[in-house]
């Protein structure tokens, strides 16, 4: 019997091992399904294992697809910024767009504001002359609507779409080409719409939100590349004219030649992995002065130095003026002169270059060119950051939600952020105003760059999961977060859990940290950080809401107050709590309750009649205060078992 039963066990183990090798090698879904059918027929695996294998393979293919997409976006940005010829850039844009989106056709239009039309300038995949020669009035059809610059637009079946305005000549061209689905995004340069980038398929369908978002990213890169090409073209024409004039202005020619060299070296920085440090190093050597790169709010960009406070009013005003005018702006800060040039993409202020000292005209031109390169670098970095943020959101949901998950896959994903199932982990819940959550996420991530941990929105609040640091109390990291956010003018209340061993304890740790935050808020301690121990007696009461002793304590110590309030709709319990929390100071208590001191005295007299004259003396006062804190936590829903 034992020998006979060993065969299927070994066969099942062999099948499982073979499956894992196939998944690791990147097997195609169709081939995987063929292998699974064979294993199921042989009985070496069950349907549950087959389903898990399909799900894991789908996740691996999706990860490879995202990785490939980011790589192609990087290659696109590098290719576009390395081309100087306008026609070559236009052809590269539509060719890359068609390949990225995977459509039958891609095309780019430019706006002719003199005639009020947008005309197709270049196509990739189109076969008819009629389609190449389409001219659409601004606002008409998908092309004309996108070219106005309001927003992306699409139609699942353009010729049959009554919601879109039509033009007979363009409809004829679309029908001749066999086009059904169309989607496009506007191209903006320095706040002005110069045209549109579109894709089309010869079958009807809706383009996904992911496709639209990808098109917007390509459109932003394309607009910047076109603007760079225009600058290169203008510069080349100027050099040719100056050469024909037999160097009538030798100094001007020399400046332009230096600018050409600078442009080439600036473009080279985009192909490097450390584009931002290399850009600063290049500019510092070229301009012969200190160069800094700062956030739109004036703070230093991550990984770069900033000796001055560029968040001061003069610096911010100059950066805003530069963003609006697209030219360098001088300013003075603490007796020292600076020049700022803001990096802008469309209408977005991405950051600023700050040069120490007064700039010459040639130096100002270099600063302007450098801002264009900074825009491309920051846009690409933003794409990578947004992808990582999505990964963190998905990961934190899987770690904190008590549902079944592939343990090995979860460990690999968490390992990318320095989290391991063998580590002691701490969960922190950060409560801020709703409108400040995104700014809070950015600030915490900047402060924790290079450290293990994840930060993301979870269940409507900011949540942080980090390894516990040896020799450091659980609440220490929470206080550090409060200080980081205070410097950003954000008031944050942070609750931390006790360290837990591995991923299985994170759901309970999150509930504990959330309860601490609610307790801090209930006790009027907004803007503080604590763990259960840091709450003092309130921390001892957390989790006691469902115990019979808690109700007995409330009734024994403040039962008459609670009954009186329930019958008459008064606030004697809240008054007693505020009075004891304010160390029995009449003025502070009256101010907190927004009542007149005489009204407070009347309430205190009533409380004394209900609880006795010793309710605020000696040990009796401690018992009452503990009961009032328990009542406060209970009514705020901070105790276990409360909603």
> pLDDT tens, 305-333?
667 778 888 888 888 988 888 889 999 88
Strands (E), 43-191: 105-112, 117-124, 135-137, 153-155, 181-189
> Is the model more confident about 151 or about 549?
151
What was the pLDDT predicted at 58?
77
C-alpha to C-alpha distances, 579 to 47, 528, 574, 631, nearest whole angstrom? 65, 21, 9, 15
What was the pLDDT predicted at 185?
92
CA angle (280 as vertex; 278, 281 as ends), nearest 5: 65
Kind and range of the H or E element at 464?
strand 461-467
What was the pLDDT predicted at 124?
94
The band of 248, judged by pLDDT with boundaries at 50, 70 and 90, is low
What was the pLDDT predicted at 601?
86
What was the pLDDT predicted at 514?
83
What was the pLDDT predicted at 343?
84
The band of 617, judged by pLDDT with boundaries at 50, 70 and 90, is confident
pTM of the model: 0.40
> Is the model more confident about 226 or about 199?
199
pLDDT over 60 (residue 169) = yes
C-alpha to C-alpha distances, 290 to 293, 314, 331, 337, nearest whole angstrom? 10, 19, 15, 12
Mean pLDDT of 593-597: 87
Query: Which string of DSSP letters, residue by residue, matches 507-565?
Result: HHHHHHHHHHHHHHHHTT-TT-EE-TGGGTHHHHHTT-TTSHHHHHHHHHHHHHHHHHH
pLDDT in tens, 354-380: 888 888 887 888 888 777 777 777 777
Q: What share of residues in the chain are helix, strand, coil (percent, to 5)?
A: 60, 15, 25
pLDDT over 60 (residue 7) = no
Domains along the chain with CATH numbers = 2-77 (no CATH), 82-229 (3.30.450.40), 249-383 (3.30.450.40), 401-535 (3.30.70), 548-635 (1.10.10.2840)
Query: Alpha-carbon distance 99 to 109, whole Å?
Result: 18
What sections of 288-416 are H helices per DSSP?
A: 313-325, 361-400, 407-415
Which of 640, 620, 618, 643 minimizes the C-alpha distance to 630?
640
The percent of residues above 90 in pLDDT, for the chain, comes to 11
Mean pLDDT of 423-442: 87
What was the pLDDT predicted at 233?
61
Query: Alpha-carbon distance 386 to 438, whole Å?
Result: 12
Query: Alpha-carbon distance 145 to 151, whole Å?
Result: 8
What was the pLDDT predicted at 246?
60
What was the pLDDT predicted at 186?
92
Query: Alpha-carbon distance 251 to 286, whole Å?
Result: 18
Lowest mean pLDDT among 24-38, 165-179, 378-392, 606-620: 378-392
Which of 520, 417, 430, 437 minimizes the C-alpha distance to 483?
430
CA dihedral 241, 242, 247, 253 (to 10 degrees): -160
What was the pLDDT predicted at 536?
59
The band of 459, judged by pLDDT with boundaries at 50, 70 and 90, is confident
Per-chain mean pLDDT for the chain: 79
pLDDT over 70 (residue 337) = yes
Query: Alpha-carbon distance 458 to 231, whole Å?
Result: 46
pLDDT over 50 (residue 641) = no
Backbone angles phi, psi at 491, to 5 degrees: -90, 120
Max mean pLDDT range (83-97, 129-143, 542-556): 129-143
Backbone angles phi, psi at 245, to 5 degrees: -85, 15
pLDDT over 50 (residue 245) = yes
> Is the model more confident about 21 or about 492?
492
How many other C-beta atoms are found inside a 10 Å radius of the C-beta of residue 39?
21
Mean pLDDT of 330-338: 88
Mean pLDDT of 291-312: 76
What was the pLDDT predicted at 1?
38
Residue 455 contacts by C-beta under 8 Å, 6 or more apart in sequence? 392, 441, 444, 445, 448, 462, 463, 464
Q: DSSP 3-state assignment of 61?
A: helix
Number of H helices, E strands in the chain: 22, 16
């Amino acid at each position: 019997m034992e020998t006979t039963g060993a065969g299927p066990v070994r066969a099942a183990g062999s099948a499982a091992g073979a499956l894992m090798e196939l998944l690791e090698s990147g097997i195609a879904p169709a081939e995987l399904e063929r292998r699974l059918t064979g294993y199921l027929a042989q009985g070496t695996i069950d349907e549950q294992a087959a389903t898990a294998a399909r799900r894991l393979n789908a996740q691996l293919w999706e990860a490879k697809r995202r990785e490939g997409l980011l790589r192609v976006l990087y290659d696109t940005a590098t290719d576009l910024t390395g081309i100087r010829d306008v026609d070559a850039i236009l052809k590269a844009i539509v060719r890359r767009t068609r390949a990225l989106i995977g459509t039958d056709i891609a095309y780019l239009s430019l706006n002719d504001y003199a005639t009020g039309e947008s005309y197709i300038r270049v196509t990739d995949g189109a076969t008819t002359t009629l389609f190449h020669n389409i001219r659409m009035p601004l606002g008409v059809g998908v092309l004309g609507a996108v070219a106005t610059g309001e927003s992306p637009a699409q139609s699942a079946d353009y010729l049959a779409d009554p919601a879109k305005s039509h033009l007979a000549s363009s409809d004829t061209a679309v029908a001749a080409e066999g086009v059904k689905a169309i989607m496009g995004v506007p191209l903006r340069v320095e706040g002005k719409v110069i045209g549109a980038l579109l894709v089309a398929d010869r079958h009807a369908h809706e383009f996904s939100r992911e496709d639209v978002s990808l098109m917007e990213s390509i459109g932003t890169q394309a607009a910047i590349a076109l603007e760079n090409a225009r600058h290169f073209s203008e510069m080349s024409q100027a050099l040719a004219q100056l050469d024909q004039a037999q160097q009538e202005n030798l100094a001007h020619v020399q400046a332009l030649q230096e600018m050409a060299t600078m442009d080439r070296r600036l473009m080279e920085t985009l192909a490097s992995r450390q584009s931002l440090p290399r850009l600063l190093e290049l500019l510092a050597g070229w301009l012969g002065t200190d160069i800094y790169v700062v956030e739109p709010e004036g703070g230093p960009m991550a990984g770069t130095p900033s000796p001055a406070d560029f968040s001061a009013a003069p610096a911010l005003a100059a950066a805003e003026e530069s963003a609006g005018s697209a030219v360098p702006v001088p300013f003075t800060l603490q007796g020292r002169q600076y020049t700022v040039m803001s990096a802008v993409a469309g209408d977005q202020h991405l950051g600023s270059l700050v040069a120490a000292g007064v700039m010459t005209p040639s130096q100002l031109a270099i600063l302007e060119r450098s801002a264009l390169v900074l825009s491309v670098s920051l846009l690409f970095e933003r794409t990578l950051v947004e992808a990582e943020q999505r990964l963190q959101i998905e990961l934190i949901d899987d770690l904190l939600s008590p549902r079944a998950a592939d343990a090995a896959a979860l460990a690999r994903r968490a390992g990318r952020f320095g989290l391991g199932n063998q580590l002691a982990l701490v969960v922190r819940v950060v409560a801020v105003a709703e409108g400040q959550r995104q700014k809070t996420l950015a600030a915490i991530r900047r402060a924790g760059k290079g450290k293990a941990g994840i930060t993301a929105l979870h269940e409507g609040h900011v949540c942080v999961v980090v390894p516990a640091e040896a020799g450091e109390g659980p609440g220490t990291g929470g206080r550090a977060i409060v200080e980081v956010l205070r410097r950003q003018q954000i008031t944050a209340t942070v609750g931390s859990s006790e360290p837990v061993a591995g991923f299985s304890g994170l759901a309970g740790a999150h509930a504990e940290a959330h309860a601490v935050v609610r307790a801090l808020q209930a006790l009027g301690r907004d803007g503080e950080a604590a763990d259960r121990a840091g709450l003092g007696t309130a921390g001892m009461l957390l989790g006691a809401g469902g115990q019979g002793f808690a109700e007995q304590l409330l009734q024994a110590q403040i039962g008459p107050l609670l009954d009186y309030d329930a019958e008459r709709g008064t606030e004697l319990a809240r008054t007693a709590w505020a009075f004891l929390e304010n160390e029995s100071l009449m003025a502070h208590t009256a101010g907190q309750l927004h009542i007149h001191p005489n009204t407070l005295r009347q309430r205190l007299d009533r409380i004394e009649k209900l609880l006795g004259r010793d309710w605020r003396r000696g040990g009796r006062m401690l018992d009452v205060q503990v009961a009032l804190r328990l009542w406060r936590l209970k009514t705020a829903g901070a105790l276990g078992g409360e909603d």
